[in-house]
């Protein structure tokens, strides 16, 4: 089986974009691949606003419970916390040594995030190398992610190729797995920009959190930005309407032509009302399952401990090979 690796940062409000773009794709392909899903807590420390140990601890558990509630099966997939496997940090140092600064200076996520923050850490700049380490440690074939991570997978490939060229064949060259539709869900309040965890935390009506109440889901969708037309065709609709159509498509599993025919001649109120229903229908079972799992602290700890053991074995093997090839053994 091909190996899949992916992760989510334990920060902010996990939203429907994370679910449609990443999590649902993991679940959908779970049986097909050998899966490793990580909670990338070291990545979340790259933003200085995230320095609250209590919050971080709570968020790690929340993400673990959400992985399970969304359908990640611990029998089929390894689930673990990044900082529990020290090889991620160690490999990052070694890969830093083969990664030119110019490559990192081109990363659009760094440019965007550093603009938003008063204090930019060295770690934020180095984020893509840590992500490359995550992926390469497990000799990953496929990385299922949203569109915003495409550039980071490309640099991962570049780093792996450069390392293999300098030190001999060591890493498998991974590929991204990105959905054709739903890989970039936009903010409901601001459909020109991607739905984001941090914005969702501070702005009501920007995103729908996987744990949002029915009333919040309804408010956010009913107030979503639209236009004064009645255009329901995917290729012609304005950004806000297209975003809702794409969500409708992903949550209903219906084809674009069926959806266009269904809404033709209708109004945006209708689309919004149906999307509210559909979202609640999709999130209700996840929320129920989440509420059940989050209370079972020792069950979660057990899964994360098993995950750590399994991940460590693979990571240790790769790192030993890396060090041998570099002359560090």
The annotation places the binding site for L-tryptophan at 134
Least distance to ligand AQP, CB of residue 101, Å: 22
Name the helix (H) or strand (E) containing 151: helix 150-167
Q: Is 197 among the residues known to form the active site?
A: yes
Q: Is 175 among the residues known to form the active site?
A: no
Closer CB to ligand AQP, 4 or 322, in the complex? 4
Of 40, 43, 72, nearest in space to 303 by CA? 72
Least distance to ligand AQP, CB of residue 165, Å: 28
Catalytic residue (choose from 13, 194, 218, 272) = 194
Least distance to ligand AQP, CB of residue 246, Å: 10
Catalytic residue (choose from 197, 218, 242, 272) = 197
Least distance to ligand AQP, CB of residue 321, Å: 27
Which residues contribute to the annotated binding site for ATP?
A: 9-11, 17-18, 146-148, 185, 194-198
Rounded-to-integer distance, Cα 12 and Cα 53, Å = 14
Closer CB to ligand AQP, 201 or 277, in the complex? 201
Q: Which stretches of the chain bind ligand AQP, using CB under 6 A?
A: 8-9, 11-12, 17-18, 21-22, 145-146, 148-149, 183-185, 194-199
21-56 exposure pattern, b = at least 16 Cβ within 10 A, e = fewer: bbbbbbbeebeebebbbbbbbbbbbbbeebeeeeeb
Catalytic residue (choose from 13, 59, 113, 179) = 113
The CB-nearest residue to ligand AQP is: 21
| Secondary structure (3-state) at 156 | helix
Rounded-to-integer distance, Cα 329 and Cα 64, Å = 35
Least distance to ligand AQP, CB of residue 201, Å: 8
- Please state, as a whole number, how many other Cβ atoms lie within 10 Å of the Cβ of residue 227: 12
Number of H helices, E strands in the chain: 15, 5
221: which residues sit within 8 A by CB, 6+ positions away?
A: 188, 208, 244, 272, 275, 276, 279
| Per-residue tokens: 14 | 């996990």
Closer CB to ligand AQP, 74 or 182, in the complex? 182
Closer CB to ligand AQP, 163 or 196, in the complex? 196
| Per-residue tokens: 293 | 């799992």
125: which residues sit within 8 A by CB, 6+ positions away?
A: 104, 110, 114
Q: Is 61 among the residues known to form the active site?
A: no
Closer CB to ligand AQP, 12 or 94, in the complex? 12
The residues carrying an active-site annotation are 113, 194, 197
């Amino acid at each position: 089986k091909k190996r899949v690796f992916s992760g989510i940062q334990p920060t902010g409000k996990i939203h429907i974009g994370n679910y449609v773009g990443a999590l649902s794709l993991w679940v959908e392909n779970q049986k097909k691949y050998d899966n490793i899903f990580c909670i990338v807590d070291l990545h979340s420390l790259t933003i200085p606003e995230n320095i609250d140990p209590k919050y971080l601890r709570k968020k790690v558990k929340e993400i673990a419970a959400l992985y399970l509630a969304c359908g990640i099966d611990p029998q089929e997939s390894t689930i673990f916390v990044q900082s529990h496997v020290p090889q991620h940090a160690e490999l990052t140092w070694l890969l830093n040594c083969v990664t030119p600064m110019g490559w990192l200076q081109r990363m659009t996520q760094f440019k965007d995030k550093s603009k938003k923050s008063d204090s930019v850490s060295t770690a934020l700049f180095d984020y893509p190398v840590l992500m490359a380490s995550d992926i390469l440690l497990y000799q990953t074939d496929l990385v299922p992610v949203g569109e915003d991570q495409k550039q980071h997978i490309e640099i991962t490939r570049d780093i792996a190729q450069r390392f293999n060229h300098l030190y001999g064949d060591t890493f498998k060259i991974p590929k991204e797995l990105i959905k054709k539709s739903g890989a970039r869900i936009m903010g409901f309040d601001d459909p020109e920009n991607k739905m984001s965890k941090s914005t969702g935390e501070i702005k009501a009506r920007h995103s729908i959190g996987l744990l949002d109440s029915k009333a919040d889901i309804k408010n956010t969708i009913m107030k979503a930005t639209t236009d004064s037309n009645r255009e329901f065709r995917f290729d012609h609709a304005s950004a806000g309407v297209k975003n809702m159509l794409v969500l409708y498509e992903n949550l209903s599993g219906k084809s674009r032509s069926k959806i266009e025919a269904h809404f033709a001649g209708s109004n945006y109120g209708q689309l919004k009302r149906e999307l509210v229903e559909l979202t609640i229908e999709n999130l209700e079972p996840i929320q129920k399952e989440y509420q059940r799992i989050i209370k079972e602290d020792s069950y979660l700890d057990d899964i994360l401990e098993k995950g750590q053991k399994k991940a460590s074995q693979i990571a240790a093997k790769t790192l030993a090979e890396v060090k041998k090839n570099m002359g560090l053994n």
